């Protein structure tokens, strides 16, 4: 049972951004914190922007900012967005799956139920509950003045 790294990093980014909801965070800054390539994180941010969780702005002073308030974003909603199109098991995916007992299978319904329970549990928390205050962040490497 595994979430994609997209979801993992997406949650971390939002957790970080929730600590200062009106500030714009550049992908460069966050990527540096996560020790991840900036372009890779950019793609994750795009998904978050598509989902309406953040707004992005180019250019100087730009970056990504939380769109709604941290209290109004449930963890379940974030996971639903980022895990969209990620089937729990193969037969959840397409109508053209290899399972030849679709329709008679009583396992599928149980798995769906469990998945729903997972998300429902996450819905009990919002970004506000997990915001990571900046004071608790590890010290960034001090930029050496030239």
Instruction: Mark the segment that binds DNA (CB under 7 A) among 18-26, 108-116, 124-132, 133-141.
Output: 18-26
56: nearest Cα among 44, 68, 46: 46
Count the Cβ atoms, other than its own, within 10 Å of residue 76: 18
Closest CB 40 distance from a second copy, rounded Å: 13
Q: Which is nearer to DNA, 71 or 95 (CB)?
A: 95
> In sequence order, what E strands does 5-109 have?
54-57, 63-66
Give which of DNA, a second copy, none residue 114 binds (C-beta under 5 to 8 Å, depending on kind): a second copy
Buried b or exposed e, range 96-133, using 16+ CB within 10 angstroms = eeeeeeeeeeeebeeeeeeeeeeeeebeeebbeeebee
Instruction: Mark the segment that binds a second copy (CB under 8 A) among 21-29, 41-49, 63-71, 113-121.
Output: 113-121
Closest CB 98 distance from DNA, rounded Å: 8
Q: Does 117 bind DNA (CB under 7 A)?
A: no
Closest CB 69 distance from DNA, rounded Å: 20
Locus of tokens 């009990």: 124
Euclidean distance between CA atoms 55 and 57, whole angstroms: 7
Closest CB 108 distance from DNA, rounded Å: 17
CA distances from 96 to 5, 88, 110, 122 (A): 26, 16, 21, 31
Instruction: Tell me which of 122, 142, 143, 144 binds a second copy, using CB under 8 A.
Output: 122
Q: Which residues are near a second copy by CB under 8 A?
A: 1-5, 7-8, 11-12, 15, 33-35, 75, 79, 83, 86-91, 98-101, 104-107, 110-111, 113-122, 125, 129-130, 132, 136-138
């Amino acid at each position: 049972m595994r979430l994609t790294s997209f979801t993992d990093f997406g949650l971390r980014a939002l957790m970080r951004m929730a600590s200062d909801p009106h500030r714009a965070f550049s992908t460069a800054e966050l990527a540096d914190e996560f020790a991840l390539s900036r372009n890779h994180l950019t793609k994750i941010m795009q998904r978050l922007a598509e989902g309406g969780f953040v707004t992005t702005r180019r250019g100087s002073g730009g970056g990504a900012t939380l769109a709604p308030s941290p209290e109004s974003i449930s963890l379940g909603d974030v996971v639903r967005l980022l895990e969209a199109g990620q089937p729990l098991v193969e037969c959840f995916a397409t109508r053209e799956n290899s399972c030849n007992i679709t329709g008679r299978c009583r396992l599928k319904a149980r798995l769906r139920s469990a998945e729903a329970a997972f998300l429902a549990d996450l819905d009990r928390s919002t970004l506000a509950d997990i915001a990571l205050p900046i004071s608790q962040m590890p010290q960034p490497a001090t930029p050496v003045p030239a």
